[in-house]
Structure 1
Amino acid sequence: MFAYLLSALFFAFFLVGVLRDRRRFGNAVYLGLAFVALVVGLLGELDRLPGPLVTAVTVVLMLAPAVGVLVLAGALVSNGATMVRREGIRPANLLSLLAGLTIVAVVALLVTALITRSRTLIVVTGAVVLVVGYVSFLFLCFVCYAFLYERLRVRRSVDFVVVLGSGLVGGDTVPPLLAGRLDRARALFDAQAARGNQPVLITSGGQGPDENLPESHAMADYLIAGGFPAERIVREDRSRTTEENLLFSKAIMTAADPDYRCLIVTNNFHAFRAALTARRTGVRGHVIGAPTAPYFRPSATIREFVAVFLTYKVVNLGVCLLIAASGMAAWLRL
């Protein structure tokens, strides 16, 4: 019963958090804790089932995580190979491959510890598994809540639609990833116009060292070439990062209307982190994601999670160090 009450409490915190501001990572953690407490409560009900059914459920509960971990590792390694083949060998494209290999390494370490029964190795493995468990819990919270956030629609009228840049190819060409953002922004503009409201569209992106013009100019040219009204576009051409995209766009919007409301457009894998950044920078608006090629999402999602994890690095690395220190203390007592 206590586990169910705890689950209900965390779920209540989740609902209150979403109502107050859906752009909070704490909402994701509350939802994850509610689910964990619910699972613990359901596991406590096993002794009420008939004996054979208890055995069957226990076997499933033992096998499902093991099989799931191995399948996940294989899928990540396969996706990593696809990323390298299609996008080239760059650190960002290796993330899913590295994640898959890390899972394999942890499993191998666990099996070795169980076979050798070395106390030192068991303690080390226990600390590693706990750290990986903590990070995995946060990752699942991130993925699940990001999935929900993408589906929380904004129905009110807005004054601006901000499109975040993502880089040009060949120095001056809008790549498919960025074109998807611009097409999504235009669809949002058309939906607002159909309701009698025509927001200003801000293309946001400065000029990189390998680009022939500011990204925002190429973005605006892409829209205008497709028939978008040039007079409804404002170009923010100084930013180099997502945070600068939002800060410089915020300055433009505040100067035009201190009480503005906006929508921010990026790709779906980036939407939740952009929303967290928008909240941190004080931008009054929610983030809408544009579709992304399925093969690209795993590595991109891992990259986004790492960035969020490091945003709260004091807490997260502190917890990881505490776990490692506890393992060391246990080893010293052997």
Structure 2
Amino acid sequence: MIVYAPAALFFLLFGIGVLRDRRRFSNAVLLGIAVSLLSLALLTELRKAPTLVVELVAVAIVLLPAIGTVALVWFLLANGLTMIRKEGRRPANLLSLLAGLGIITLLALMAAAVVTGSHRLAILAGTALLVVGYISFLFVCFVGYAFLYGRHRPRRDVDFVVVLGSGLIGGDRVPPLLASRLDRGREVYEQQAARGNPPVLITSGGQGPDEKLPESHAMADYLTERGFPAQHLAREDRSRTTEENLLFSKAIMEQAKTGYHCVVVTNNFHAFRAALTARKTGVNGHVFGSPTAAYYWPSATIREFAAVFLSHKLVNFGICGLLALCGVLAAL
């Protein structure tokens, strides 16, 4: 059983991290390491298994990554084209397409190194594989823990429900993405109001250069036009970023009630990063996600991961640099 000890240790550290504050990216990494160590421990147990089982597992280890890579590339390319068709060619909409092309480029580089026998290409391919492997591991950790975090539901009464803005259509109309947030925020409000303690719902969003009014005002209008009680609405109309959304909303909540508790509502792909930002800004509450169109999720998730990765750029670029150096030294 000693082979399972490292995995158990990291699962324990993960549990402690979640109990301290589930809004930590370190929780995602600890969970990823724990699952990886558990998988390795299970593989070592195969030596006790019948020969047929060992052979089947060996075939699966070889085939599944290959099949999975092909399926992933196809999915990313198809999704990228869907994003371009439905959302336009803005850089943020190209991320899944670029990710698919990046995987193809890496595979082509590895194939070229094998076919040509070039030492330099082998060094380049190996180094790229190490760096991409590290980033991929972090991405899987991010997606896995974000999924778990998204299963969290408010269990206690809160004083405020903060709905984050996301931009307007035509300068004054609420788009479907933002409507999803507002509808989920209203759902949280109504669930608590039914228990006799209605919270204040804060619409949060300032006025962009191409908008005719602050997002928070359009968001409030969207709700009141659908019967939401205006006396339970507050507007935060200065923010331009998620961090400002939370900082300025925090100021409103602290002024209204010391020791407040809140729920922050955004789309599900944005929930974990918003939770990390909420922890950073000292907001006393967790983040609740609203549904997003399935085709929009991959590119949006890649964008969210990139933002989290760059928020720890010193550590991540430092590790990528060390991996690149190891790749070069190993090939010499």
| TM-score tier (shorter) | over 0.9
Give yes or no for contact 1:3–1:37 (8 Å, CA) kept in 2: no
Please list the CA deviations of residues 132-190 of structure 1 after superposition, one character each: whole Å capped at 9, or x if unmatched: 01000000000010000010122100000000000000010000000010000000000
Q: 2:138, 2:266 → 1: CA distance? A: 23
1:2 Cα shift? 4.3
Q: 2:61, 2:324 → 1: CA distance? A: 27
Matched residue, 1:42: 42
Secondary structure in 2 aligned to 1:44?
helix
Give yes or no for contact 1:273–1:308 (8 Å, CA) kept in 2: yes
Q: TM-score, normalised by structure 2?
A: 0.98
1:225 aligned partner, one-letter code = E
Q: TM-score, normalised by structure 1?
A: 0.97
1:118 Cα shift? 2.1
Determine if the alignment matches structure 1 residue 270 to structure 2 residue 264.
Answer: no
Determine if the alignment matches structure 1 residue 137 to structure 2 residue 137.
Answer: yes
Secondary structure in 2 aligned to 1:45?
helix
Q: 1:3, 1:235 → 2: CA distance? A: 55
2:22 aligned partner, one-letter code = R
Secondary structure in 1 aligned to 2:265?
strand
1:122 Cα shift? 1.5
Counterparts of residues 274-313 of structure 1 (less than 5 Å): 274-313=274-313
1:281 aligned partner, one-letter code = T
Matched residue, 1:85: 85
The alignment's C-alpha RMSD in Å is 1.0
Please list the CA deviations of residues 236-286 of structure 1 after superposition, one character each: whole Å capped at 9, or x if unmatched: 000000000000000000111120000000000000000000000000000
Matched residue, 1:96: 96
Counterparts of residues 31-70 of structure 1 (less than 5 Å): 31-70=31-70
Matched residue, 2:163: 163
Aligned pair count reads 332
Give yes or no for contact 2:202–2:233 (8 Å, CA) kept in 1: yes
Matched residue, 1:173: 173
2:310 aligned partner, one-letter code = L
Q: 1:117, 1:56 → 2: CA distance? A: 32
Matched residue, 1:150: 150
1:27 Cα shift? 0.7
Counterparts of residues 176-187 of structure 1 (less than 5 Å): 176-187=176-187
Determine if the alignment matches structure 1 residue 115 to structure 2 residue 115.
Answer: yes
Q: 2:326, 2:47 → 1: CA distance? A: 33
Identity %: 64
2:248 aligned partner, one-letter code = F
Give yes or no for contact 2:152–2:288 (8 Å, CA) kept in 1: no
Determine if the alignment matches structure 1 residue 24 to structure 2 residue 24.
Answer: yes
Matched residue, 1:232: 232
Single out whichever of 116-125 and 294-303 deviates more from structure 2.
Answer: 116-125
Q: 1:326, 1:58 → 2: CA distance? A: 28
2:35 aligned partner, one-letter code = F
Secondary structure in 2 aligned to 1:162?
strand
Q: 2:159, 2:221 → 1: CA distance? A: 21
Please list the CA deviations of residues 191-232 of structure 1 after superposition, one character each: whole Å capped at 9, or x if unmatched: 011111111110000000000000000000000000001111
Determine if the alignment matches structure 1 residue 14 to structure 2 residue 20.
Answer: no
Structure 1: tracts of 5 or more residues without a match: none
Determine if the alignment matches structure 1 residue 245 to structure 2 residue 249.
Answer: no
Residues 216, 102 of structure 1: alpha-carbon distance in 2 compared, 3 angstrom cutoff: same
1:3 Cα shift? 3.9
Q: 2:321, 2:183 → 1: CA distance? A: 45
Give yes or no for contact 1:192–1:198 (8 Å, CA) kept in 2: yes
1:115 Cα shift? 2.0
Structure 2: tracts of 5 or more residues without a match: none
Q: 1:149, 1:54 → 2: CA distance? A: 35
**Dislocated runs of 4+, deviation >4 Å:** none
